[in-house]
Structure 1
Amino acid sequence: MAYQTFQEEYMQTPPITRAYTTTCVLTTLAVQLDVITPFQLYFNPDLILNHLQLWRLVTNFMYFGTIGFNFLFNMIFTYRYCRMLEEGSFRGRTADFFFMFVFGGTIMTIIALFVNLVFLGQAFTIMLVYVWSRRNPYIRMNFFGLMNFQAPYLPWVLLGFSVLLGNPIIVDFIGIAVGHVYYFLEDVFPSQPGGFKLLRTPGFLKTILDPAAEDPNYNPLPEEERPVGLSGGRTGSTRGPARRGEAGGGGQPREVVAGHSI
């Protein structure tokens, strides 16, 4: 029964979220079982350019460390915010969502050439959190019962939590910066006087990824009824190889649980 429930939930997950989280889990399991090692996955420009190990451009976004609490919480963050974006502001626009992945990953890869970061998965998660938070500005959140705030402050709360834990905050800054660049180019600049849309999804992606017609029976769980993340689970470091949201409810803030005690 539990297996059938899990299978149904898994198959109802939108395609980009399902593909990304599945590859992250399988990559971590492969490392845990010694099928591969982190040294085969991390971002290394020399190996990419001189030895054509091009897979490193992708695999460094898929490894979140060995299986443990840090991995679990990162997967929860990635799954929830990725899914809420894909079912929310990117509903029916799978190609646009995939293009956001490509855009964000490309900018982070360029940044990684100049900083000492070899795994960018956590930065990518923060980017997803940032874009979701800016597209849902009126959702109110609670951090372990300690503080209440509106969604746009969530990335900064997570950054402050990293500071308290003594973790490097460069990962959070990169995710926030790339998320803001995407949000500005996609949501802000086109609506300004004289502005125009700079990010355009290639037509071939729309042909491949966007269905001809949306399934009329598809009914995702309303955002206000879903927990949006476990705000306290990002504890690891990544150094070393080891359509817009709506406020809802007449513009009144909604109380959404952002985390709970473990």
Structure 2
Amino acid sequence: WFQSLPLVTRYWFGAAVLVTCGANFGFFSPMKLIYTWDNIWENFEIWRFLTPFLFVGKFDINTLFALYMLQSFSQRYESEPYNTGAGGGTADYIFAMMFGMASIFLTYPLMGMVLPVAPLFARTLTFFVIYTWSKRHPTAPTSIWGVQLKAIHLPFAYVVLSVLMGNPYGDLLHGIAVGHLFYFLVDVVPIVYGKDVLHTPQFL
């Protein structure tokens, strides 16, 4: 089953499981995984550019569900991403992920001023993917806890559910905001303004 997953999904999901398990079993401290610019700049801890997207959290039902969502929606979107110059394949998905990760880093300080967001971005990036997938396939049928709804409503349904359950929701809104920026640049701008502003690099 694992080997049948698309390339990016397979590596992201596999790395997320390994890093999350490693931190929970005490092989390394979660504090070594979070995003802190001071540690990156002063101590050259460059792995902090990657690990915030891989550590999902302490073992509980929310973490297991988050890992499932990561795998499920990454696989769905990777199978048919927005075509930003590479034919709508894996290279376009890699470019979308690069855009999402960079945008999450850049907007994190601003989001932290208005919402309670932690320096861990696995859920944020997952909701970037979910929102982008929902805009790519807005009428696709899906469900949440047995309730049928269209894909376009799914990200916001998860936010409402998180609020009702008393779970953190700032990272979900952060991912949705970055996803909307990506959608606007790749889908709205070319149609409304006639300009393609995002292009998958040829080296991908």
Alpha-carbon deviation of 1:89? 3.1
Residue 21 of structure 2 aligns with which residue? 29
Residue 204 of structure 1 aligns with which residue? 203
**Deviation digits for residues 232-261 of structure 1 (CA, Å, limit 9, x no counterpart):** xxxxxxxxxxxxxxxxxxxxxxxxxxxxxx
Q: Equivalents in 2 of 1:126, 1:34: separation in Å?
A: 28
Does residue 154 in structure 1 map to residue 146 in structure 2?
no
Check conservation: 2:81, 2:92, Cα contact below 8 A.
no
Instruction: Number of aligned residue pairs: give it.
Output: 195
Residue 165 of structure 1 aligns with which residue? 165
Structure 1 residues 188, 14: closer, same or farther in 2, change over 3 A? same
Check conservation: 1:45, 1:113, Cα contact below 8 A.
no
Alignment partner of 2:142: what SS?
Answer: strand
Residue 143 of structure 1 aligns with which residue? 144
More relative contact order in 1 or in 2 (CA 8 Å, sep 6+)? 1
Q: Equivalents in 2 of 1:108, 1:92: separation in Å?
A: 23
Structure 1 residues 144, 29: closer, same or farther in 2, change over 3 A? closer
**Deviation digits for residues 171-194 of structure 1 (CA, Å, limit 9, x no counterpart):** 1111110011111111221122x3
Q: Equivalents in 1 of 2:172, 2:122: separation in Å?
A: 11
Give the TM-score of the pair, scaled to structure 2: 0.89
Residue 128 of structure 2 aligns with which residue? 127
Residue 49 of structure 1 aligns with which residue? 41
Q: Equivalents in 1 of 2:78, 2:168: separation in Å?
A: 29
Q: Equivalents in 2 of 1:143, 1:58: separation in Å?
A: 30
Q: Equivalents in 1 of 2:81, 2:48: separation in Å?
A: 30
Alpha-carbon deviation of 1:143? 2.9
Q: Equivalents in 1 of 2:148, 2:15: separation in Å?
A: 34
Alpha-carbon deviation of 1:195? 2.0
**Deviation digits for residues 57-80 of structure 1 (CA, Å, limit 9, x no counterpart):** 110111011223122111110101
Alpha-carbon deviation of 1:142? 3.2
Give ranges in structure 2 of 5+ residues lacking alignment. Answer: none
**Deviation digits for residues 22-46 of structure 1 (CA, Å, limit 9, x no counterpart):** 0000101211221111011001111
Alpha-carbon deviation of 1:124? 0.8
Q: Equivalents in 2 of 1:27, 1:149: separation in Å?
A: 33
Alignment partner of 2:53: what SS?
Answer: coil
Q: Equivalents in 2 of 1:178, 1:191: separation in Å?
A: 20
The letter for the 1-side match of 2:159 is L
Residue 189 of structure 2 aligns with which residue? 189
Residue 10 of structure 2 aligns with which residue? 18
Check conservation: 2:80, 2:89, Cα contact below 8 A.
no
The letter for the 2-side match of 1:44 is T
Residue 65 of structure 1 aligns with which residue? 57
Residue 91 of structure 2 aligns with which residue? 95
Give ranges in structure 1 of 5+ residues lacking alignment. Answer: 1-8, 206-262
**Deviation digits for residues 96-115 of structure 1 (CA, Å, limit 9, x no counterpart):** 11111111011111122341
Structure 1 residues 95, 142: closer, same or farther in 2, change over 3 A? closer
Alpha-carbon deviation of 1:92? 5.9
Q: Equivalents in 1 of 2:99, 2:144: separation in Å?
A: 30
Structure 1 residues 195, 182: closer, same or farther in 2, change over 3 A? same
Residue 180 of structure 1 aligns with which residue? 180
Give the TM-score of the pair, scaled to structure 1: 0.70
Residue 216 of structure 1 aligns with which residue? none
**Deviation digits for residues 137-180 of structure 1 (CA, Å, limit 9, x no counterpart):** 112333324x4422101011011011101223211111110011
Alignment partner of 1:60: what SS?
Answer: helix
Give the alignment's Cα RMSD to 1 decimal. Answer: 1.6
Q: Equivalents in 2 of 1:96, 1:88: separation in Å?
A: 9
> 2:108 pairs with 98, 112, 116, which one?
112
Higher alpha-carbon Rg: 1
